[in-house]
Every structure is written in C-alpha cells, then in structure tokens.
Amino acid sequence: MSRRRAAGRPHEDPRRRFAWRVGWSDGVTLSAALAVAAGAVLGAWSRWLLGLWLNRPGAALPLGTLTANLAGGLLVGMALAWFESHPGLSPAWRLFAVTGFLGALTTFSTFSAESLLLVQRGELGVALLHSAVHLLGCLGAAALGWRLLR
C-alpha cells in the first residue's frame, strides 16, 4: 500500500502523518528537528560571542574561529564517547549536542573565508599555518575528547 493511502488511516500516529506531509522520512520527527534547532541556536550564539571576544582588529589569526573549532573538536570527541557509554539516552540529546550545538559552534565556512582572506592579502604562510592549526588541532582535540571520556 502506498504511503499516501497509509497516512490517512485513523489508527496511525498523527505525528507520522505530519512528518509525511512535510516530506520527512522515517526517523525524522518534529522533536528531532526541534532538538537540532535548539542546539544550533545555542551553538551559533556561542560562536558569535567567541568571535566578538577573541577576534581583535589587526590580529594575525582570527582566534575566535580557531577557539570555536578546537573547542568543538574536543567537545565532539567527548560527546561521542559519552553517548556511546550511555546508550539509553534519547537520540534527541545527541541531535541537540552534536548536530545542533557543535554543528553550529564549529564552522568550516568562516574558517574558509578567513583562510581565503589571508591568501588574498598575500599572507600564504600564515594561511597555511592557519589551515594546519585548524585541521590538526581539531583532529587532536577530538581524539583528546574521546580519550578523556573513555
């Protein structure tokens, strides 16, 4: 039976009908979407505040973005270890923390824009250093976060 006909059954959960109507697949619920959205708001505000606090005019490296990415790398490693050791937690918490908060806190687009600006200013060495510190630092922070909670 098609999904369209099944959606109108009176015994079916109305949340599933709503999810079908907006084009969401199985497993994507309104509560999951709200968990991601709430985490994303907090993560974006955190990144913005770090930028206001740490990105000083004339500084060689934009430290706000670097701090957000390194902290995000550390926290994602810790979060993944935490969720692995607590399998009974609702999946909404992982969506809130990892997909929402940390997804918005860390930012590849801002990192890319800052790296491009350094290249455009002729600071290729600083741009390469900036890129290496982000890449290696975030990977190292994620590994450290994982080990801290393992």
| pLDDT surpasses 50 at 1 | no
Number of domains in the chain: 1
Q: Which residues have a Cβ under 8 Å from the Cβ of 122 and sit 6 or more positions away?
A: none
> Helices 14-21 and 30-54 sit at what angle, rounded to 10 degrees?
60
- Please provide residue 149's backbone torsions phi and psi, each rounded to the nearest 5 degrees: -105, 10
Q: pLDDT higher for 61 or 146?
A: 146
Residue in this structure with the two tokens 């109305």, named with its chain if needed: 14
Average pLDDT along the chain = 84
User: Is residue 13, in this structure, part of any structural domain at all?
Assistant: no
User: Is residue 123, in this structure, part of any structural domain at all?
Assistant: yes
User: Is residue 7, in this structure, part of any structural domain at all?
Assistant: no
Q: Cα(136)–Cα(128) distance, rounded to whole angstroms?
A: 12
- Please provide residue 87's backbone torsions phi and psi, each rounded to the nearest 5 degrees: -65, -15
User: Is residue 43, in this structure, part of any structural domain at all?
Assistant: yes
13-37 pLDDT tens trace: 555 544 444 455 666 889 999 999 9
39-48 pLDDT tens trace: 999 999 999 9
Q: Are 47 and 103 in contact (CB under 8 A)?
A: no
> What range does the domain containing 57 cover?
29-148
User: Is residue 20, in this structure, part of any structural domain at all?
Assistant: no
| pLDDT surpasses 50 at 99 | yes
Mean pLDDT of the region 107-135: 89
**pTM above the 0.85 mark?**
no
User: CB-side exposure of 9: number of CA atoms within 13 Å?
Assistant: 12
